[in-house]
Amino acid sequence: MEKLKFYIDGAWVDPTTPSTLGIINPATEETFAQISLGSRSDVDRAAKAARRAFAAYSVTSVEQRLAWLQKIIEGFRARLPELARIMTLEMGAPITFATQRQATVALFHFEEAARVLANYTFEERMGNGIVRREPIGVCGLITPWNWPLNQVASKVAPALATGCTVVLKPSEIAPLSAMLFAEIVDDAGLPAGVFNLVNGDGPTVGEAIAAHPEIDMVSFTGSTAAGVRVAKLAADTVKRVAQELGGKSANIILADADLKTAVTEGVHACYTNSGQNCQSPTRMLIPRAQRDAAFAAAREAVDTIRLGDPLDPASTMGPLVSQVQFEKVQELIQSGIDEGATLVAGGTGRPSELNRGYYVRPTVFGDVTPHMKIAREEIFGPVLSIISYDTEDEAIGIANDTPFGLAGFVQSSDPDRARAVANRIRAGRVYLNGAPFDRSLPFGGYKQSGNGREFGIFGFEEYLEVKAILGH
């Protein structure tokens, strides 16, 4: 499969300078596709196309933008199986999960953006003037490999809905679903230059987007270290910067919770997307008196996981995305062993029944202390740390003792108690008692987990400027 062109100014075009990269199927460790890597000149071409398109697109009517969004939604629905399959091949998500979650949740963002747009008030009278909300301009969007289409949609949908134009750089590790999405956008008939896609790596294309003077805003999802670099590059042109960065979420199981249910659900939540999930509840906090029961419940939960070929609908966990990620997770599992944590399940090495692919054994550590490496660093693999506590205050203190603040989780049979604990967690989103995903509620982090919000009206307004017009 060769996908060597970029989508710029309404057409599929060759890169300025030929340079290719192989895309590896993480389940087979074999190259199955080729893409081109872009350069600064490709970003410049895309940014200038987006700038030209912005003048007309920014003043299109709500009705016209709704019509374009609806065409994208229809194209998305028609190609959902194709989108799911390509994500399975490029980043290893099991096909059932890719269909039910990876692809479907991405579609939700366009449906939500259309809902918000249809009901949004862009102009209102206030005091002795008018307050207008206007599109911010050309938006540079840099997205990760772990939810390759979801993160594209969560940025592109509100940007297009508000009247902004876009230069997108998907992850070069898993870019093919974004390129398929670009075909959907092309079929929807948006004006040339409104949506542009340039593949490439972070140090070249990503940094060019962050620094480009024609780009008014950059929205980045990825590691905290990379986010810092993006913000520094964007500062010279005083861009708005929205970032969704790392996480190390705590899952506080209170003493009155149904322990077995809470532990079982906590294990499976931690292992969602093979643990490659920025808000995964990777630190499970349990009352010290319930240590043994929690360990037993965790072992049982791990035993229900089926690792295997991600194209097999019965597989519930696939491989990690790359050799680099596999080796990083192996090193962190070994650090947990070396620092004296109790290995409750899993461990180092590939599962014995699999002889290829970047598969990691689902791992649970017990007797973890807050200073251990596995309790401090974002692992981005199927590794759970169980930490014991004596008091509720201690549990909250442990939960907040991290430079991250993306998400938190609380389990209790008393909703009021759970909410009171949630109020004290320094994180942008807190889930109570296994609450499901809600696309309308804001998503984003405190502290080094980023700034700005995505999803719903909060994500919509990230792409708007506020103008006051005084007098009559």
User: What tens digit of pLDDT does each residue of 383-395 get?
Assistant: 999 999 999 999 9
CATH superfamily ID and name for 2-245+449-470: Aldehyde Dehydrogenase; Chain A, domain 1 (3.40.605.10)
Residue spans in the chain of domains classed CATH 3.40.605.10 = 2-245+449-470
Does pTM top 0.85 for this prediction? yes
User: What tens digit of pLDDT does each residue of 305-363 get?
Assistant: 999 999 999 999 999 999 999 999 999 999 999 999 999 999 999 998 899 999 999 99
Statement: residue 248 has pLDDT above 80: yes
User: What tens digit of pLDDT does each residue of 257-279 get?
Assistant: 999 999 999 999 999 999 999 99
The tokens of 449 are what? 């987990």
How much is the pLDDT for 472? 77
Average confidence score pLDDT of the chain: 97
User: What tens digit of pLDDT does each residue of 340-352 get?
Assistant: 999 999 999 999 8
How much is the pLDDT for 437? 85
The residues carrying an active-site annotation are 244, 278
The tokens of 292 are what? 């043994």
How much is the pLDDT for 439? 86
> 283 falls in which pLDDT band (50, 70, 90)?
very high
User: What tens digit of pLDDT does each residue of 98-134 get?
Assistant: 999 999 999 999 999 999 999 999 999 999 999 999 9
Residue spans in the chain of domains classed CATH 3.40.309.10 = 250-440
CATH 3.40.309.10 for the 250-440 domain, yes or no: yes
Average pLDDT over residues 30-54: 98
Average pLDDT over residues 51-76: 98
